[in-house]
Chains A and B, each alone.
Chain A
Amino acid sequence: MNEEHRKILEMLKDGKISVDDAERLMTAVGEPEAEASSSPAGKPGWKYLRVQVEPGPGSESQDKVNIRVPFKLIRAGLKFAALIPKASQGKVNEALKEKGIDIDLSKITAEDLQDIIANLDDMTVEVDGQDKVRIFCE
């Protein structure tokens, strides 16, 4: 609860304003927490991209992956990747395509990354009911 909300509630408690007035004031002041969570720019507190792979309930394998990558490192990496000469970029993209990753890294901008982060709230993917892959931000 922020300072403005507290003051409104105190005025209501002291009888200086009515319930209707308090409601109007609350609406006018807004709810910053709710606004922040729905902001398209994403949650400012997120610093890392996490990828966790754990064996599912029916899995016999003991494979585990735990990766934490700072977002700043991803941004810096994308900028650095843009420096790769175009001739080499084609080879990199072909190699990625062979591995099933059909993306052009040079076309990913900081804004694209921001959009991905904004929409990557908490994604859990279960692979064939065996491995549980969780990708999330923290």
Chain B
Amino acid sequence: MFPILMRLKIRSEGKRGVSLWLPVFLAWIILWAFMLVLLPFVLLAALLSLGRGPGMSLLAVYPLLFSLLWNLSDLHIETRDAENDVLISFL
């Protein structure tokens, strides 16, 4: 499923750290609304360039982007050294 929240934690020694829970589902809503608006133009461009350009690739962007975002949940990246601490996690 689409990740609903993103946890972002950044800490640096001697500085005030940031720890946020970002509601990324709002970003998906905006993104899909934007892509829906673009869809007629993408379809037109795909039809015009079919056979001699990126026609099919343009059409494939939608399902592939959907698949990419759908599988983003459970991604967890955490790095730490003596001075910095970064955590990015999708839930």
- Chain A interface residues toward B at CB < 8 A: 47-48, 61-70, 72-73, 75-77, 79-80, 83, 85
Contact = CB atoms under 8 A, between A and B. Distances in A.
Nearest to B64: A80
Interface in B75-91: 75-82
Given A61-B81, A61-B82, A83-B57, A68 B76 contact: yes
Interface of B: 54, 57, 60-61, 64-65, 67-68, 70-82
Contacts of A61: 81-82
A68 B74 contact: yes
Contacts of A66: 76-79
Given A83-B64, A85-B54, A67 B76 contact: yes
A72 B71 contact: yes
B78 A77 contact: no
Nearest to B56: A83
A68 B75 contact: yes
Contacts of B79: 63-66
Contacts of B73: 70
A68 B80 CA distance: 15
B85 to A, nearest CB: 9
B74 A80 contact: no
Contacts of B81: 61-64
B82 A62 contact: yes
B8 to A, nearest CB: 15
Contacts of B54: 85
A68 B67 CA distance: 18
Nearest to B82: A62
B76 A73 contact: no
Contacts of A73: 68, 71-72, 75
A48 B89 CA distance: 14
Given A67-B77, A83-B64, 4 more contacts: A61-B82, A63-B82, A65-B80, A73-B75
Nearest to B74: A70
Contacts of A64: 78-81
